[in-house]
């Protein structure tokens, strides 16, 4: 038997390398585990043909005027008019359970987070429940619509009062 004696406290280079790789692997597993704990940002729930407004119970037949909010329990409340949604938010505000609000861009008909949207309010806009508010993702298109409809350009904080 051939034994190589090492001075006390000295670690073999190979053993040191194995410990280093094992430590890196453990760090990667921990980092991935922590990353998995992060939730993806909330996403809008698409309007279905059978959907009705959570407030006025009318069919949501013109999606470009629609909106929705999500609550803490991940329930989506859909609306046929931004004005209906604003009333719905005010009713639930005391509970503090509205987490995210989405609106449909009037021109592109794509969902936009209400915090990022630009709104045009005008009596010339004929929305399903007469709220007269439409949303845009792009400020320049909202500016053009405000001119076209003789309306005012607003942000979500302005309409949600």
Which residue spans within 43-160 are E strands per DSSP? Answer: 67-71, 76-79, 98-104, 111-113, 118-121, 133-136, 152-154
**Within a domain: 48:** no
**Within a domain: 43:** no
**Within a domain: 34:** no
Which residue spans within the chain are E strands per DSSP? Answer: 67-71, 76-79, 98-104, 111-113, 118-121, 133-136, 152-154
Give the integer Cα–Cα distance in Å for 71 and 53.
16
| Residues, the chain | 161
Q: Please give the biggest Cα pair distance in the chain.
A: 97
**Within a domain: 92:** yes
**Within a domain: 7:** no
Q: What is the tens place of the pLDDT at every residue in 37-90?
A: 567 888 999 999 999 999 999 999 999 999 999 999 989 999 999 999 999 999
Taking a C-beta distance cutoff of 8 angstroms, is the pair 87, 80 a contact?
no
**Within a domain: 102:** yes
Taking a C-beta distance cutoff of 8 angstroms, is the pair 60, 66 a contact?
yes
Number of domains in the chain: 1
**Within a domain: 149:** yes
Q: What is the tens place of the pLDDT at every residue in 107-140?
A: 999 999 999 999 999 999 999 999 999 999 999 9
Strand pairing report for 98-104 and 111-113: antiparallel
pLDDT for the residue numbered 18:
46
**Within a domain: 22:** no
Name the residue range of residue 81's domain.
63-159
């Amino acid at each position: 038997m051939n034994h190589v004696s090492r001075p006390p406290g000295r670690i073999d280079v190979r053993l040191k390398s194995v410990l280093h790789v094992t430590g890196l692997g453990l760090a990667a597993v921990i980092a991935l585990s922590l990353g998995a704990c992060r939730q993806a940002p909330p996403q809008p729930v698409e309007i279905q043909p059978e959907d009705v407004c959570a407030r006025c119970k009318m069919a949501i037949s013109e999606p470009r005027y629609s909106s929705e909010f999500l609550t803490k329990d991940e329930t989506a409340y859909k609306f046929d008019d931004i004005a209906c949604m604003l009333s719905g938010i005010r009713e639930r505000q005391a509970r503090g359970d509205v987490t995210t609000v989405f609106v449909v861009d009037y021109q592109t008909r794509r969902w936009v987070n209400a915090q990022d949207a630009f709104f045009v309010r005008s009596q010339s806009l004929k929305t399903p429940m007469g709220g007269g508010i439409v949303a845009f993702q792009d400020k320049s298109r909202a500016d053009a619509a405000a001119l076209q409809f003789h309306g005012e350009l607003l942000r979500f904080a302005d309409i949600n009062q």
